[in-house]
Structure 1
Amino acid sequence: MDTCGCPSRVSQLACGTLCPPSRNIRPTSARRAATSSQHSLVRALAARSMAAPSSSATSPAFKAFVDASAGAMGALFAAVLLYPLDVAKTRRQVDVADQQDAARRKEARNLLAAVWLIYRREGADGLFAGLSSKVAHTVSSNFAYFYWYSFLKAAAERQARAPITTGTSLLVASAAGALNMSMTLPLEMINTRAQILPSDDEADADADKDKDQDGRRSMWGLAKEIYAEDGLLSFWKGFIPSLVLVSNPSINYTIFDKLKLQLQHSKMAATNATRVSSLTALEAFILAAIAKAVATIVTYPVIRAKVLMQAQKKQVAGQQKTSHAHHHAEMGNSMLQVLKRIGELEGPSGYFKGCSAQLFNTVLKSALLVMTKEQITKYTMRVLYMLRRDAAPKAIEAAKA
């Protein structure tokens, strides 16, 4: 408390304008009453400021947490809903033309036909092979990405005191993607192996104890198998193409943010609104689909090279070679070797083999993710605003008491 009775937190600002200067004169009773009323107002404003969660609710870290949570939930919803398409897409990507069974290639002529083929041969379990590892990877990956992207973007905008440029947005998205990829690549590696292994693919007799009830390798069993190949480094197989693919979400979310900003400005101009409105679910879906399609086409050759690198197994001493391990044994150990091998075996079209399946799956998944995320973020922030608004009158009443 200062000598005038105002809380020290506001004395230098509010009290400096509301309170009378100290003089060696006796104030009149009217002046004392006015001053007392002013002091009460200052104390009420100070209590409201201290009680309302304005600073924490609008801080970059808090906004990043809300965005990350919404992004993770949206990604999980999309991943589970479209998981059978994801399995079929991955299996198409790892098939090499001169090794693939011709009859099976004809049967799986498109993504939906491939889904039906997996169901006929392996049942529903085949369509959800590796779902547990996918859930773990999706939640952790998207939470990490959206957290770092939102946090770094807010920090950059605060530093620049203006909306960031396209170039800065790309750098921020790339940094967020690199941090996310480094932390979650082992889970992606496990999931890729789980998706491409049919239930009857056995590495050795000792692996039976690491199988689930449906005869598939568990996450723990796959992790041990991957570790046996090259130690811990095996979990980061495909690191270089994954690092290159950091540009995929960077391109994706940069395009989405720019399209979103343009649409919001157009809506404001059309309605003479003074506030920026949120996107509707349909608007978010369409913009996200466009952005993801562009990002996927630009980076697809590297996407396929990464999947092939993660799919091929290194022969472990004393382990019987499986047909699947042999199937990808000669693709190469580096991204450039794999890309060169694809060109030799399949020609230029091989670089985009499975691209339509990738587009259908990832564009739909990304659109569902962003649509869900936008709605979750909007309602979460609305609830926080209502809580903040309700807390303010209570704080003022408490200050008056």
Structure 2
Amino acid sequence: MASEAAVEAVGGAVGSVIALAATYPLAIVSTWQALEHSQGLELASPELRKKYAFLPSPLRELCIYSESRGWRSLFAGLRPCLAATAISQAVYFYLYSALRQGIVAHKHAVAAARLKARGASAAAVASAAATAAAASRSEAIGVAGSLVVAGLAGCGNVLVTTPVWVVATQLQALQRHPDPAVRQRSAWQVTAQVYKEGGLAGFWKGVLPSLVMVANPTLQYILYEWLTARLLEMRTAAAAASGGSRPGGKGGHPRGRPGPPKLSTGDVFLLTALAKLGATLVTYPMLLIKSRLQAMNSSTAREARYSGVLDAVVAILRREGLAAFFKGMRLKMLQTVLAAALLMAIKEQVYLSTKALIGQAALAAPVPVSVSAAAAPELATAKAG
């Protein structure tokens, strides 16, 4: 039977691919804005500027690129980005789930040892172990546990997937080049160029700011778990306050008691969007530096070449000012919040469906009557992790 971590990895990969594909034009335009080293768009003629002057900046650039170079330019580098996203999210969610389960298992192993030391019966110990296994996905591990788990998972993810992101970012950056032949380079051609100019080390350009960016999912998950805990507490308190006055509430028939509070798909979407919003606000300047370092090559303008993170920070401050660290942030915020919320909502549905299918296959009933339907309510009580 597939492990919890494997199911989480599949859900994360599927959700991330769908979420990125749905928001990719926003992602690529935000990257172009982050790579902008001068005022205005080089390709924007006065006529185009005037035509779309009434639109806000992100949408104006989207329309200018679409009209001047065709809508296909808004999907340049989509395939390597989808591959990078699927690998990245699968690795991240697998590591996050496996590490999280390890912490929960250790905590309950200690609790079981204490029960045995106190002379508890074998049945009581087994019951506690079964309860722990059922709640392993939804059980809170605290802020410190979330910080450690998300940080370790993020570092492993960055080290594995940075080469793919370097190629994907350079493909996106090439769409700003005036030469059509350069804009049409394939992923393999870009890969060869990266190796020719920087060797194997060239595929890990921007790895330092990427490791710092691990703070983004770390902050996101801490905020998500905190917001989720507060929401469930509020709903539990509301259910307890209203349940006691109902005929089927406290003291009534067990079937009339309200069940534990659950997170709907809409709840997951909203909570993830809020968590991602807060995390992105804090970490965006490092995201911009990472994008510029990964997009850098021999054909990059001289003012866009940096020897490292510190040189990039100093050069951007000197040439472009403090505001440059937030170029493209508005569009990136919109894209990343939508993508993250879609990812978590889709991942949750994939997780529930996969677990239901696994449970159905394990039972192998001759007449599969509502096996998944019976499993769904129990699975739906799990909190998205």
TM-score by length of 1: 0.72
Deviations 1:294-348 (A, max 9, x none): 11010111111111111121x3xxxxxx4xx126544x22111111111112222
Deviations 1:194-247 (A, max 9, x none): 1121286559xxxx7xx8xxx611111110011111101111000100010011
What residue is the counterpart of 2:84 in the other structure?
Answer: 137
What residue is the counterpart of 1:72 in the other structure?
Answer: 13
Matched, 1:287 2:271: yes
SS at match of 2:235: helix
Matched, 1:120 2:71: no
2:105 to 158, 182, 196: 158
Deviates more, 1:374-383 or 1:189-198: 374-383
2:195 to 227, 235, 241: 227
Q: How does 1:215-364 map to 2 (within 5 A)?
A: 216-271=184-239, 276-313=260-297, 315=298, 322=299, 325-326=300-301, 328-330=303-305, 332-364=306-338
Question: Is the Cα contact below 8 Å between 1:308 and 1:328 reproduced in 2?
Answer: no
Question: Is the Cα contact below 8 Å between 1:279 and 1:374 reproduced in 2?
Answer: no
Q: Please report how far the alpha carbon of residue 389 of structure 1 lies from its aligned counterpart in structure 2 after TM superposition.
A: 4.8
Q: How does 1:390-401 map to 2 (within 5 A)?
A: none
Identity %: 31
Counterpart of 2:13, as a letter, is A
Task: Tell me how far apart the structure 1 counterparts of residues 260 and 163 of structure 2 sit (CA, whole Å).
Answer: 40
Question: Is the Cα contact below 8 Å between 2:26 and 2:332 reproduced in 1?
Answer: no
Matched, 1:86 2:60: no
Matched, 1:179 2:156: yes
Note closer, same or farther for the CA distance 1:126–1:201 as it changes in structure 2 (3 Å cut).
same
Question: Is the Cα contact below 8 Å between 2:44 and 2:64 reproduced in 1?
Answer: no
1:97 to 7, 14, 38: 38
Task: Tell me how far apart the structure 2 counterparts of residues 270 and 64 of structure 1 sit (CA, whole Å).
Answer: 33
Counterpart of 1:303, as a letter, is L
Deviates more, 1:373-382 or 1:166-175: 373-382
Q: Please report how far the alpha carbon of residue 151 of structure 1 lies from its aligned counterpart in structure 2 after TM superposition.
A: 0.6
Task: Tell me how far apart the structure 1 counterparts of residues 32 and 304 of structure 2 sit (CA, whole Å).
Answer: 16
Deviates more, 1:249-258 or 1:218-227: 249-258
Task: Tell me how far apart the structure 2 counterparts of residues 254 and 335 of structure 1 sit (CA, whole Å).
Answer: 27
Task: Tell me how far apart the structure 2 counterparts of residues 342 and 392 of structure 1 sit (CA, whole Å).
Answer: 67
What residue is the counterpart of 1:198 in the other structure?
Answer: 175
Task: Tell me how far apart the structure 2 counterparts of residues 199 and 301 of structure 1 sit (CA, whole Å).
Answer: 21
Q: Please report how far the alpha carbon of residue 102 of structure 1 lies from its aligned counterpart in structure 2 after TM superposition.
A: 9.7
SS at match of 2:70: helix
Note closer, same or farther for the CA distance 1:103–1:135 as it changes in structure 2 (3 Å cut).
closer
What residue is the counterpart of 1:365 in the other structure?
Answer: 339
Task: Tell me how far apart the structure 1 counterparts of residues 346 and 310 of structure 2 sit (CA, whole Å).
Answer: 37
How many correspondences in the alignment? 316
Question: Is the Cα contact below 8 Å between 1:133 and 1:190 reproduced in 2?
Answer: yes
Task: Tell me how far apart the structure 2 counterparts of residues 78 and 231 of structure 1 sit (CA, whole Å).
Answer: 33
What residue is the counterpart of 1:12 in the other structure?
Answer: none
What residue is the counterpart of 2:147 in the other structure?
Answer: 170
Note closer, same or farther for the CA distance 1:64–1:138 as it changes in structure 2 (3 Å cut).
same
Task: Tell me how far apart the structure 1 counterparts of residues 67 and 303 of structure 2 sit (CA, whole Å).
Answer: 24
Counterpart of 1:80, as a letter, is A
TM-score by length of 2: 0.75
Task: Tell me how far apart the structure 2 counterparts of residues 103 and 123 of structure 1 sit (CA, whole Å).
Answer: 14
Q: Please report how far the alpha carbon of residue 381 of structure 1 lies from its aligned counterpart in structure 2 after TM superposition.
A: 2.1
Task: Tell me how far apart the structure 2 counterparts of residues 228 and 194 of structure 1 sit (CA, whole Å).
Answer: 16
- More relative contact order, 1 or 2 (CA 8 Å, 6+ apart): 2
Task: Tell me how far apart the structure 2 counterparts of residues 233 and 275 of structure 1 sit (CA, whole Å).
Answer: 55
Q: Please report how far the alpha carbon of residue 261 of structure 1 lies from its aligned counterpart in structure 2 after TM superposition.
A: 3.0
Q: Bigger radius of gyration, 1 or 2? A: 1
Task: Tell me how far apart the structure 2 counterparts of residues 276 and 173 of structure 1 sit (CA, whole Å).
Answer: 27
Deviations 1:33-78 (A, max 9, x none): xxxxxxxxxxxxxxxxxxxxxxx56xxxx11111110111010001
Q: Please report how far the alpha carbon of residue 101 of structure 1 lies from its aligned counterpart in structure 2 after TM superposition.
A: 4.0
Deviations 1:369-394 (A, max 9, x none): 11111122122223333444555999
Task: Tell me how far apart the structure 2 counterparts of residues 268 and 381 of structure 1 sit (CA, whole Å).
Answer: 26
Q: Please report how far the alpha carbon of residue 181 of structure 1 lies from its aligned counterpart in structure 2 after TM superposition.
A: 0.7
Question: Is the Cα contact below 8 Å between 2:5 and 2:95 reproduced in 1?
Answer: yes
Note closer, same or farther for the CA distance 1:129–1:102 as it changes in structure 2 (3 Å cut).
closer
